[in-house]
Amino acid sequence: MTLRSLDLFCRVVDNYGDIGICWRLARQLQREHALDVRLWVDDLVSFQRLCPQVATDADTQRVDGVTVRHWRDQDGVYGAADVADIVIEFFACDIPPGYISAMAACTPRPVWFNLEGLTAEEWVEGCHRLTSPHPRLPLTKHFFFPGFTDKTGGLLREAALDAERLAFQSDPAAMAAFLGRLGVTARELAATKVSLFCYPHAPLAALFDGWREGGEAIVCLVPEGVAAETVQAFLGAAPTAGAAATQGALTLRVLPFVPQPDYDKLLWACDLNFVRGEDSFVRAQWAGKPFVWHIYPQDENLHHKKLRAFLQRYAAALPALQQFSLAWNGAPVAGGQGDGASLWRAFHSEMPQMANRAQQWRQQMLANGDLATNLMRFAASLR
């Protein structure tokens, strides 16, 4: 039986990462797999920052071919006709009990997935595609894990992404025009360009000191609202979009929070990208540029274990990237973390090797296929 419709449920925990992933997935499933997609979201305000077309006061709206439902609560009465052929709950969010009961009344019953968060830990390969029978109803949920090997679901990537990146990066005039619209001057184009997206607790002041006192001109582009206190301290003014200041070798520019397609272009146009959470982390990998990951913090420092698992896969031959990444995330470093300036000097000297590794890694990830296509193939096999 043909799978024609899909419901994707998303509760926003990390302000932009969760909805960023779900919005990309929803659009790809609609455009490339011809599904009628409904995206259920509890936080339309965060969603609007990534997608300005979203109306924050609408219960139901159509955006970019996707039906967006404001997921207000767990109440509601649902019938079998309200249930999609494929149901995805993102990161183990609890979908409404009434909807689950309606799923059980469907013939055939929907394909039900829990789409998990991304991790490089080895145990994921053994849990990918595992089943979880409902304790009362005749329903079975399947766990689907994104990942970095062919024994996982792969990474989220649109079919045209690589061609779009190559066309943009092969056109210096287009890159200059794009950066110019963000306020970057012609003189600043020759500097090392860094995009910065991090959580508030990042050791940013020490990094700014290292850049400011270094011998190479750096232009740091930071979205409005990111690390606001540290950015304001550097600027000496409110960190609103358009604000800029230069101290020593460092120029800091505050950007408006751009839509997802423009964020991809920002990653493609910069020499180094600091990213956070999951969505921007994955997009930085497809950009094929050096990057530093600020992982979402978890209780008991479980995120440090996940960070080390990724660094073991990605940066085994890049010691400066390992040390810098651990220090950036507040994780213990053998021999001590060192000061920001020394960490940056070692990191900077290793950047040519990082650039080569970024390209190699991108090719490895391409070989695993993309998350949406892998998920649809598995869904079809369950019918």
With CA atoms as reference, report the closest residue to 271 among 288, 285, 253.
288
Written as one letter, the residue type at 318 is: L
Q: Any idea where the domains of the chain sit in the sequence?
A: 5-153, 161-366
Per-residue confidence (pLDDT) for residue 336, from 0 to 100: 61
Per-residue confidence (pLDDT) for residue 300, from 0 to 100: 86
Percent of the chain with pLDDT over 70: 98
Q: What are phi and psi of 345, to 5 degrees?
A: -60, -45
- 263-321 pLDDT, tens digit each: 999 999 999 999 999 999 999 999 999 999 999 998 888 899 999 999 999 999 999 99
Per-residue confidence (pLDDT) for residue 1, from 0 to 100: 62
161-366: CATH architecture: 3-Layer(aba) Sandwich (3.40)
Q: What is the mean pLDDT of residues 106-120?
A: 96
- 51-60 pLDDT, tens digit each: 999 999 999 9
Residue 253 pairs with which residues in a beta bridge? Answer: 221, 244
| CA angle at 80 for the pair 75 and 81, rounded to the nearest 5° | 100
Instruction: Establish whether 18 is a catalytic residue.
Output: yes
Q: What is the mean pLDDT of residues 103-113?
A: 97
CB of 112 within 8 A of CB of 84? Answer: no
Give dist(CA 272, CA 174) in Å, integer. Answer: 19
Q: What is the mean pLDDT of residues 148-173?
A: 97
Instruction: Establish whether 278 is a catalytic residue.
Output: yes
Q: What is the mean pLDDT of residues 172-187?
A: 96
Per-residue confidence (pLDDT) for residue 148, from 0 to 100: 98
Residue 13: which pLDDT band, with cuts at 50, 70 and 90?
A: confident
Q: What is the mean pLDDT of residues 122-126?
A: 97
- Which of 116, 188, 224, 278 is catalytic? The answer is 278
Give dist(CA 289, CA 263) in Å, integer. Answer: 14
- Say yes or no to pLDDT of 102 above 80: yes
Residue 338: which pLDDT band, with cuts at 50, 70 and 90?
A: low
Q: What is the mean pLDDT of residues 193-208?
A: 95
Q: What are phi and psi of 317, to 5 degrees?
A: -105, 15
Q: What is the mean pLDDT of residues 216-230?
A: 96
Per-residue confidence (pLDDT) for residue 2, from 0 to 100: 87
Per-residue confidence (pLDDT) for residue 15, from 0 to 100: 64
Give dist(CA 341, CA 338) in Å, integer. Answer: 8
Per-residue confidence (pLDDT) for residue 337, from 0 to 100: 59
CB of 372 within 8 A of CB of 29? Answer: yes
- 147-158 pLDDT, tens digit each: 999 999 999 999
Q: What is the mean pLDDT of residues 370-380?
A: 98
Give dist(CA 268, CA 230) in Å, integer. Answer: 25
Give dist(CA 87, CA 186) in Å, integer. Answer: 49
- 33-56 pLDDT, tens digit each: 999 999 999 999 999 988 999 999
Per-residue confidence (pLDDT) for residue 272, from 0 to 100: 98
Structure tokens at 13: 């925990």
Per-chain mean pLDDT for the chain: 95
- Which of 18, 43, 85, 370 is catalytic? The answer is 18
